[in-house]
Amino acid sequence: MKARNLFTLGAVAAALAVAGCQTDFPDGGRQVVRQTGVEGQWMGTDGVAVSTLQSGRFSSRSLQTGETLTEGSYTHRDQRTIDLSFYSLKSQQNTSATCLLANTSQMNCTLANGTNFVLTRSAGVS
Residue 78: pLDDT band (50, 70, 90) is: very high
Q: How far apart are CA 115 and CA 97, in angstroms?
A: 9
Q: Does residue 17 have a pLDDT over 90?
A: no
Give which of 42, 55, 16 is closest to 97, Cα–Cα. Answer: 42
Q: In the chain, where are the structural domains located?
A: 40-121
pTM of the predicted protein model: 0.68
CB atoms within 10 A of CB 53: 22
Strand locations in 34-90 (E): 40-44, 49-54, 57-62, 68-76, 81-88
SS3 121: strand
